[in-house]
Amino acid sequence: MGRIVAVNFNDRLTMLVDALPGVNRIKAVQRALDGRTNPVYLEIGVSKGLAFRQISADEKIAVDPAFRLSDETRAQADARGRATHYFEVTSDDFFATQGDFLAQRPIDVALIDGMHTYEQVVRDVENTLRFLRDDGVIFLHDCNPPFELAGRRAESWDDFIAGQSGPLVIGLWNGDVWKAIVHLRSTRPDLLVGVLKCDQGVGFVRKGAPESTLPYSVEQIEGLTYADLKADRKRLLNLKSPRYLDEFLSAGAGSARN
């Protein structure tokens, strides 16, 4: 008997969520951009452009090691910005080589939706912070896996699928991105970090005093399991209702710009 593989489920679920009313990562990003003067938007992990094509900003920066953009999607993305820049490299290489480019374009809003390992997500956040405006915000996708398999660690989508056995393969993967939230809340007392309870968990980060922190060491974070998340999800993630987005954005609106 052949395996039934839900390879496209991630994309289909994402497209369904994007079409529903209420907050998702795309709407959060756009609300953060709206009202800013000539904002710069950075997206890490663009892939097929499901989010990037819908975002409007003065300048848009796309980073992905292997774009899968159709001509139509690229045209839609370009139409929503005065200037659109594409970098087909890993995020590590992007930040290592494009410091001068970014120094001329301080980031207003970023969306991190690339490799689903927490160490990579932490690096992406830390690197983005180097070029983020004082009142800028970062959003992260996949921060609240709904069940153990979705939160399983893997180095890639292919590894995630290959690691499953049985006739039915589940195609919803968030990885251990949630640990990046725990890491930042434990090691960065200069950041406000949490997760909106929507769209598979939309993480948020901005500069400023946190309302609470966590006490974990890096070694302890590495040892955390999905069972730990399930038992204490609200505290570990600083989990918030989607309605919190307005409070989060308004709290940062008064910060001085670079």
Q: Write the pLDDT tens digit of every residue in 106-154.
A: 999 999 999 889 999 999 999 999 999 999 999 999 999 987 767 677 6
Strand order in the sheet with 239-240: 81-87, 57-63, 40-44, 107-112, 132-140, 202-207, 191-196, 239-240
The whole-angstrom separation of Cα 25 and Cα 12 is: 15
Predicted pLDDT of residue 153: 77
Share of the chain above pLDDT 70, in %: 83
Q: How many CB atoms lie within 10 A of CB 134?
A: 13
The whole-angstrom separation of Cα 71 and Cα 60 is: 17
The token pair at 132 is 């983020």
Between residues 243 and 5, the one the model is more confident about: 243
Domains of the chain in sequence order: 24-250 (3.40.50.150)
∠ at Cα 155 (62, 220), nearest 5°?
Answer: 105
Between residues 2 and 55, the one the model is more confident about: 55
- What residue has token string 């994402």? 14
Predicted pLDDT of residue 113: 94
**What are the residues whose beta carbons fall under 8 Å from the beta carbon of 117, sequence distance 6 or more?**
153, 155, 175, 176, 177
